[in-house]
Amino acid sequence: MARTIYSEKVDLIIKAREAMLSAIQIYNNPLISFKTESFIVLSLIAWTYLLHAYYRAKGIDYRYFSKSGRRKKYVKNSDGSIKFWDLKECISKTDCPLDKNTTNNLNFLIGLRNQIEHRKASGLDSYLSARYQACALNLNFYLKALYGEKYGLDNNLALSLQFSELDYSQSKVIKDKEGFIPQNVISYVADFDSKLSEDEIKSDKFAYRLLFAKVLAKRKGQADRVIEFIDPKSDLAKNISKEYWIKEETEKQKFSATLVIQKVKEAGFKNFGMYQHTQFWKKHDGKNPNKGFGAMVVKTWYWYQNWIDYIIGELGKK
């Protein structure tokens, strides 16, 4: 019996590794445009296998069933086979070994999959790549943490070479592609992120981000790696040419109407309430998307900081 459990666990671990390697291979393939959809589906399958292996080893029944007394009645698929837990169910259990930030990442990808299941996900390949990267790194981490270093994917992964230079102009092209992202996806991302704390948003287990700087000069005989890691406190890091540092807000902070009013009152306009705010945005066409004062998120309009500044500026003139 123990031998059977062990072999089933190993088989599931191997499937988890192969599914994630397939996801990464497809995502890095320059000839494939169906990257996001393929990566999400395969990576979620990989995580499902990994957690099934964990529950199998722990002797936890990861099949859907109902109980009548001491007897289990298993839920069946349409073909008559027993239905196993999906990933959402796996990560919802108290026995789940994953940390909070990793489950946040997986819950996000599950929800994103549901958003794009029946439509083309244009523009998402770069827009959310930090979350895909975190998903892959997290699986590699837990493969080793739960089952040992020999199951890690480190030796199977390689850097994807680029046909275009990684510079500021490329980042602007990537940014421009966001205009093709479906509104339902934009709303989903904003709504999901609004429920996370600042620390959860910044966690590299939720989204893994890197800052690139071009190396202009190298010592003779030094290996030419595309990416080199340096100590951020070192002289080299401190002396990186400032022209290669990109500081751009990726997601503007959003304010509800109540928060806008609070900020305006704190600026000294004590009589500015909800009625005054409503009249103000109607008069100044504040909800016109072309003016960039805010955005619609899940049927609710949110305002940006520049709207608060605009109100205070206009009221100050009076």
Query: How many angstroms from the chain centroid is the CA of residue 5?
Result: 34
Q: Taking the domains of the chain in order of start, what are their residue ranges?
A: 2-64+81-157+164-202, 257-317
Nearest CA-CA partner of 212 in 193, 197, 198, 225: 225
Q: Is the confidence at residue 166, as pLDDT, over 70?
A: no
- Encoded tokens for 87: 């990933």
- Encoded tokens for 219: 């010592």
Least confident span in 105-109, 173-177, 223-227: 173-177
pLDDT in tens, 263-298: 999 988 899 999 999 999 999 999 988 788 888 877
**Residue 153 vs residues 16, 22, 38, 56: alpha-carbon distances, Å:** 11, 12, 19, 22
Identity of residue 224:
D
The residue count for the chain: 318
Helices (H), the chain: 2-27, 35-58, 87-92, 100-116, 124-127, 129-147, 168-176, 183-194, 198-202, 235-238, 257-266, 274-283, 305-317
Least confident span in 5-14, 54-63, 119-128: 119-128
Instruction: Say whether pTM exceeds 0.85.
Output: no
The reported pLDDT for the residue numbered 253 is 78
Backbone angles phi, psi at 249, to 5 degrees: -70, 120
pLDDT in tens, 122-164: 667 778 888 999 999 999 999 999 999 999 988 776 656 555 4
Backbone angles phi, psi at 65, to 5 degrees: -155, 160
The reported pLDDT for the residue numbered 109 is 95
pLDDT in tens, 87-119: 999 999 999 999 999 999 999 999 999 888 766
List Cβ neighbours of 280 (8 Å cut-off, separation of 6 or more). 286, 311, 314
Beta bridge partners of 71: 68
Beta bridge partners of 73: 66
Average pLDDT estimate for 46-51: 97
Q: Is the confidence at residue 177, as pLDDT, over 50?
A: no
The listed range with the strongest mean pLDDT (25-34, 166-175, 204-213) is: 25-34
